[in-house]
Amino acid sequence: MMEESSTVDSEHASVVHSDAPSRLRASSQGKRLFGLLIDIVLIILILNTLDSLFRQENWDLKQQARSWLDLTWFYGGAMLFLVFRDLSQNGSPGKRMLGMCLRKIENLNEIVPKDRLFKRNLSLFILPWEAWEIFRDPYGRRLGDRLAGTVVIDNPDAMRPMRRLLLSNLLFFGFFIIALGLQQPNMRKTSAFQVSYEVVKQDSRYLELRAAGFELEEPELHLDFRGDAEDSRVRFRVNQDEEVQIFEVVLALVEKPSPHWELKGLEFQTLKQEEED
């Protein structure tokens, strides 16, 4: 589908095909859709970060018993973010990253009031159809734009592209750093880790290593939650100067009478550092 560049005549509230730099340019369909995708990705990142931040003890077992009602907050939160994402009046994060903004169709110099922004995004509850509407309309106006009397234009006062790109990368990199920071604390909250750690710390071989001043490094979890699951494994390492001691706890997920991890064995091996590498 060909995308057409267009400009908006603010005096007559119409969109006219032109290359005149003095007029405001309506954002293309592809740019509009890309901005919407950025917003959706950000919403998923925010909700996943909140979910990781507030995970409780034994969350790996509770996750198995989750019903569709337990996911209501996630999907409900996603829709709320979509509905309220433009209420800053300068547009959603996706629009800002791509240098777009929202304006009244009758006066392109006026910022859209919040009540019309809210009305505009209510139609996102039919999201697949709204995405299709962006391509159906020659100027990328979806149903919400027509109901609220708004149009998305290229912001003449937007930050320079390189600055927008830098800020966008910093934002996504921030989510990546947060995810890395929460990984180990959340791993230690799992029932699988707690069961395995209790087994290893009572093993005589580990007690000897601990007496010599060595400690367990961060664990590796390989958990299988499928119905016909294979054995799950939790691996601990103790690094010495020339050797690596590996404790591998073998677990099986038991669903009844209540979900729990059942110990199937403890495997131990010693490797040379070059073999581990």
- pLDDT > 60? residue 15: no
**How much is the pLDDT for 176?**
94
Structure tokens at 16: 């006219």
Domains of the chain: 6-184 (no CATH), 190-276 (3.10.450)
The arithmetic mean of pLDDT across residues 67-80, rounded, is 74
Chain Cα centroid distance, residue 231? 29
Q: Are 81 and 43 in contact (CB under 8 A)?
A: yes
In percent, the amount of the chain with pLDDT more than 70 equals 86
Q: Is residue 3 scored above 60 in pLDDT? A: no
Question: What separation in angstroms does the CA of 165 have from each of 93, 98, 178, 246, 266?
Answer: 12, 9, 20, 44, 50
Q: Do residues 268 and 249 touch, judged by C-beta distance below 8 A?
A: no
Tens digit of each residue's pLDDT (9 = 90 or more) over 44-73: 999 889 888 888 898 888 776 566 666 777
Percent of the chain with pLDDT over 90: 26
d(CA 124, CA 80): 10
- Per-residue pLDDT, averaged over 195-222, amounts to 90
- Token pair, residue 192, equals 């699988």
pLDDT score recorded for residue 165:
92
pLDDT for the residue 99: 92
DSSP states along 104-159: ESS-TTSPPPHHHHHHHHHGGGGHHHHHHHHHHSTT---HHHHHHTEEEEE-TTPP
pLDDT score recorded for residue 4: 46
